[in-house]
Amino acid sequence: MNKIVNPDKNSWEQLLQRPTQTVADIEQTVNTIFKEVKNGGDTVVKKYTEQFDKAKLSSFLVSEEEINKASDSVSEELKQAISLAKTNIEAFHAAQKTARIEVETMQGVQCWQEKRPIQKVGLYIPGGTAPLFSTILMLAVPAKIAGCQEIVLCTPPNKDGEVNPTILYAANLCGVTQIFKVGGIQAIAAMTFGTESIPQVYKIFGPGNQYVTVAKQLATKHNVAIDMPAGPSELLVVADDTANPAFVASDLLSQAEHGTDSQVILVSTSEKLITSVEKELEEQLSVLPRKEIAQKSIANSKLIVVENDETAIDLINEYGPEHFIVCVENEDFYLKNIQNAGSVFIGNYTPESAGDYASGTNHTLPTNGYAKQYSGVNLDSFMKSMTFQKISEEGMCKIGNAIELMAEAEGLQAHKNAVTLRLNSLKNN
């Protein structure tokens, strides 16, 4: 990892850059595939599935027989772990339900807000170097609680045209209505436009590589919403001499192993701690099965020494990490002053892995600095807020003149007339 000591504030922008390609680098490829899928449907999706995933498929839809077979191959211990995680995720997201909000803004003017589920949602689940079945729990569980009618899942097959059995087990357990063996740009395009096999959805959720991220952003140009522009995973840890160096190193590596374009950062006021963490990183990295991936990610990553907590929090808010671990004596200072982070993990015994899997919070979070303006996925992500109003005769008499004056001032005579006609009707009664 690159070690930087007391970087000048003017260098922060360059220092905190993510190791991602620009949209321009990828957009042409995504646009081409989108146009082809829109016009060619399943035939084009099959072509790209064969090209990118080396799988020849006669059908994208996962059969009930495949789901049952997958369930049989998942160990009971893993099923129990998934069940525990599902229970905690359900508890946390069910608690986010809100009741109807009703206000009489003035006598006779009644306004209220209710939430409705998004009817059709699409879930994208990466299945390449790491089959992220945990993401199914994070997306399908709140979708089900919200009441979404159609929950469509796309995930890439292996070269034999098969999907990881744990992905199929988790999807079935969490109430996914249809599962398709499609990945990458072509999956996002298929859910955007709909094909002969794959339904069009109203909103697409889920992480992916940079191509998937750009594809999701392009989907928004075709009347499909997305959860957020979530790309390669990232983690920032702030730690001092009260932190356990082995724990800190393990957290950094847990994110570094996601992919070669992941990024991890350690910020500390203690050079001593950073030296200890560097040693732990070497030892732990040497025995990781995904050592090569983690090594490349570590090359994108940084150890930053700062003078004090105030400088540290300013730098962290500038970065806006997806995951933020706080292992310091003065943790209250960081919790009070953090403004930009997707999810926060506090103390030596709260690894980021807990949020990834089983504590109950959602792990689908904003990356690439989007934590400055986006929330992570939550129950409301699967719902829409709708407003209602009802005005009585008395209410129209009280509010009507104000509406007439405002409409006339904006030069919208028909708006004024819609009120004037009603007021005149009431006067004549």
Determine if residue 255 is labeled as part of a ligand binding site: yes
CA 30 remoteness from chain centre: 20
Considering 280, 323, 352, 363, which one is annotated as catalytic?
A: 323
Determine if residue 363 is labeled as part of a ligand binding site: no
Active site residue 323: yes
Active site residue 322: yes
Determine if residue 209 is labeled as part of a ligand binding site: yes
DSSP H/E element including 105: strand 101-106
Gap between the Cα atoms of 229 and 322, Å rounded: 12
Determine if residue 202 is labeled as part of a ligand binding site: no
Considering 322, 394, 404, 408, which one is annotated as catalytic?
A: 322
- Answer positive or negative: Cα dihedral of 254, 260, 262, 267: positive
Determine if residue 93 is labeled as part of a ligand binding site: no
* CB crowding 15-44: b at 16 or more within 10 Å, else e: bbebebeeeeebeeebeebbebbbeebbeb
Q: For residue 427, give the DSSP letter.
A: H
Q: Among all chains, which residue has been given the structure tokens 């899928």?
A: 37
Asked whether 331 and 345 are in contact (CB, 8 A), the reply is no
Determine if residue 356 is labeled as part of a ligand binding site: yes
Gap between the Cα atoms of 210 and 212, Å rounded: 5
DSSP string of 39-65, one letter each residue:
HHTHHHHHHHHHHHH----S--BPPHH
Nearest CA to 294 out of 346, 326, 255 is that of: 255
Determine if residue 233 is labeled as part of a ligand binding site: yes
Determine if residue 408 is labeled as part of a ligand binding site: no
Within a 10 A sphere around the Cβ of 240, how many other Cβ atoms?
18
Determine if residue 222 is labeled as part of a ligand binding site: no
Annotated binding site: 124, 186, 209, 233, 255, 258, 323, 356, 410, 415
Annotated binding site for substrate: 233, 255, 258, 323, 356, 410, 415
Annotated binding site for NAD(+): 124, 186, 209
Annotated binding site for Zn(2+): 255, 258, 356, 415
The residues carrying an active-site annotation are: 322-323
